[in-house]
Structure 1
C-alpha cells in the first residue's frame, strides 16, 4: 500500500493545504492579469499566478542564483510536504528515500534570461548554472541533493498528465521496496517567451474577465487559463508510515497511463481506457467511485470527449464530477497533483468542491457536474484524470485509509 502522508501546496489561490482548500471551497480565484511584463499587445492577458511566495524565506541563499522559479517552487513544496509528514530526512537512510517529479517546461525563465545575456554580451556572461537549470530533471536533482535522498529517482515529462505519472511512478517505487518517495509536479513559464509558447497552442482563452475566462464543461467554454505552481506529496509504504506513527491522508490505490492513437486511425482517445485500467489496478468497479476530478480542458471539443469517456464508464450522470482547477488555471504538470490534494481533502471532510464559473452544462454531455456550492456527500474513493498535449492520458484512484 502507498500512503500519502505529507502535502506541500503552492497554488495560485493559496499557499499550503489549508489556504488552498479554503479557496477551493469558497471560490477564491488565483486568476488575474499577467503583470510580469507588458502584455497589452497580446490577445490573452490572464494567468493563474503565485504572488505571495518569497522563496528566499525558505531556501538557502546559495540556491537562488542556481535555480529557475519552477525549481524554487518545487524545493519549497517538497520542504513543506516533508514538514507536514513530520519527516526528518537526516533520520532515515539515504537510499531509503527517492524523488519523482514531473515538469513540462524546464527552467524556462532562467534559460531565456541567460540566452539574452549570450546574445547581448557574449558567452562569458552566461551563468555556469545554465548547464543544468534549464533541464526537466533539475527539480528531482535539487530536491534529492538538498535532502540527501539517494534512492531510486526519476523525472517525467507528460504536460498536464505528468503530475499523475509522477505519483503513479512513486507508488510503483514504493512497491519495489523503497520506504519513502517525494513525488509531484510544478511548472512555471511566464516570461515573454513562455507566454508566447502558451498562446501558440491556440487553446488559451482571450476572455479578459477572470470570472468567466476559464469555465470548463460550460456551453460557452472558449479555452483555458494557464497557471503556475503545483504540489509535492510524501508517498510512503504503509509499513513506513506505521513505524513513524503517522496515519496519512489517503492511499494511491490505482494508477494507469495511456497514449492517444494517431488521429488518422479513427480510434478513440485513450482517456477512458486509462480510467478503466486505473480502476482495475485498484481492484474496484465504476460504481465504487464517489467523485471524479476531471481534466477539464475548457475547450468544447476536448470537454465533449471527456464527457463521452465519463458517460461510457459511469453511465449518464452516473458519478459527481468536479474541476476545481477553474480557480487556478491549468498548471501543466502541477495541475493534476493539486487535484489529488483536493481529492484527499474531499475524503477527509466528505465534501465535493464545485466547479466555479461554469453555469450551463450542455445536456448532451450527460455529466453530473458539481457547480455553485460544495456538495456534502460521503467520499471514500476519488478518480483523478489528466490529459497532456500530444496524447498523454493518466488516471489515479485515491482512497480513504
Structure 2
C-alpha cells in the first residue's frame, strides 16, 4: 500500500469509550441520547443530549492536569492516548519533529470558561484561574496533546463546526504528504454547561421533541432538528512507507480523497456546495461514484437540509444507487467530533463487512431516492466509503476512505 494510511484510532462517545466498545453499541443500535443532567435543564425548551456517562477524568489524567483542563480537553487527551497506543506509537517511535497534531474544536472550553466567569462575577478577578488564559481556547486540545506526547512537528487547530473534524483529517493528510511522517488528527467537542447549552439552542436547530427516541431522525419525514452530543475521535495518520519501516502492526485503511467547499450566501440561486465537495473528494481519490460502497451522511435531521443532502447524493449516485447511513442518530451531533467518529465507523465497516443502520428513522420520503440502511446493520463488502459533514454557515467537507487492500 502507498499513500497516507490510518494505523491507529480511538473514540469517546455517548455510546462507548474506546473503538470496540463504541462499535459494539453501533452494531447493536444502543442509543446514548437521554435527559441532560449536567445541570438543571428543566426550564429549557430542549432537554435531551448525547452525554458520555462512564468517563472518570482522574483515571486518565494526572492531578496536575485536572485543574487546567476543560471536559473536552480531558476527552481529547484520553482519546489521543488510546489512539497512539492502538498504533503502538510512543515518544521514541519517531523523532519528535516528525510527529504533529491537528485537532478541530467548534466549541472550545465552554464548561471551564463558564465556571471561571462565574467566579469573576461573583467573587472578583483574583479568584479566576490562571489557566483560563488558554483552557477555553480552540487550539488547546492540539497544544495539550502535543506537549503530553512530545509531538513537536507541524500542528494546527481548525474551526468549522460539524465539518471541522473532517477538515482536520484533510489537513493531517496534507501535512504527511509534505513530509511529516505521522500526524494525529480528528476532532473533539463538549458544551453541556448552561452557557454552552444556551449557545447551542440559540442556533434554532436543536429538536424539542419530548421522546428521546424520536428527537433526532435523520432523513425521516418527521425530522424536526438534531440532538447535541459530546465526544469525538482521533486517528493516527502516517506515510505508508514510514509506517511499513517502523513495523506498524495494522493498517485500517487509506485517506484516499478529501475536499471542502463553502455554500453560497443565503438567497443565492447557486446550488449548495455539498455535492461539489463529494465530487472533488472522489476526484482527489481517483475514484468514480460507482466505486463507492457506502456513504456516511451528515444527516442534519432538519427537513430542508436533509433534502439538500439527499438531492446531492441522488444526483451523484443515482436514485437508490448506494447504501447510505447516519449512525450519529445514536449519539447526537458531536460538532467537530462527529465527522471523525463517522470515519472510525466507516473503517470498522470495512473491517467487518457490515454497514451500520440509522437508528430510529422509519419513514424516508420516497422522493429522496435514498437507500438508507434502516432497522439493522446490513452485511456488505465495503472497500471504499464516502464520509460527509456540514457545518453551520456553509461549511461542507468530504473524505474518501479505502480498504487496505483496495
TM bracket (short chain):
over 0.9
Report the TM-score when normalising by structure 2. Answer: 0.98
Aligned to 2:326: 323
Is it true that 1:287 corresponds to 2:317 in the alignment? no
Rounded Cα–Cα distance in structure 2 between residues aligned with 1:388 and 1:83 = 31
Within-5 A mapping of 1:341-352: 341-352=344-355
Report the TM-score when normalising by structure 1. Answer: 0.99
Aligned to 1:360: 363
Rounded Cα–Cα distance in structure 2 between residues aligned with 1:225 and 1:217 = 14
Query: Any gaps of 5 or more consecutive residues in structure 1?
Result: none
Aligned to 2:117: 115
Rounded Cα–Cα distance in structure 2 between residues aligned with 1:22 and 1:153 = 32
Matching residue within 3, 6, 31 for 2:5 = 3
Matching residue within 54, 57, 73 for 2:56 = 54
Rounded Cα–Cα distance in structure 2 between residues aligned with 1:390 and 1:212 = 26
Within-5 A mapping of 1:231-270: 231-246=233-248, 247-270=250-273
Aligned to 2:275: 272
Following superposition, which runs of at least 4 residues in structure 1 exceed 4 angstroms of deviation? none
Q: Deviations over 1:1-58 (max 9, x none)?
A: 1111111210100111111111101100111100011111111100000110111111
Is it true that 1:86 corresponds to 2:95 in the alignment? no
1:60 deviation in Å?
1.4
Matching residue within 332, 357, 360 for 2:335 = 332
1:212 deviation in Å?
1.2
Aligned to 2:30: 28
Is it true that 1:298 corresponds to 2:301 in the alignment? yes
Rounded Cα–Cα distance in structure 1 between residues aligned with 2:376 and 2:329 = 14
1:243 deviation in Å?
1.4
Rounded Cα–Cα distance in structure 2 between residues aligned with 1:263 and 1:192 = 30
- The secondary structure found in structure 2 opposite 1:343 is helix
Rounded Cα–Cα distance in structure 2 between residues aligned with 1:244 and 1:209 = 50
Query: Any gaps of 5 or more consecutive residues in structure 2?
Result: none
1:321 deviation in Å?
0.2
Rounded Cα–Cα distance in structure 1 between residues aligned with 2:51 and 2:350 = 27
Aligned length in residues: 401
Rounded Cα–Cα distance in structure 2 between residues aligned with 1:171 and 1:91 = 19
Q: Deviations over 1:313-346 (max 9, x none)?
A: 1111111000000000000000011000000000
Rounded Cα–Cα distance in structure 2 between residues aligned with 1:322 and 1:120 = 47
Within-5 A mapping of 1:172-251: 172-246=174-248, 247-251=250-254
Rounded Cα–Cα distance in structure 1 between residues aligned with 2:206 and 2:16 = 23
Aligned to 1:397: 400
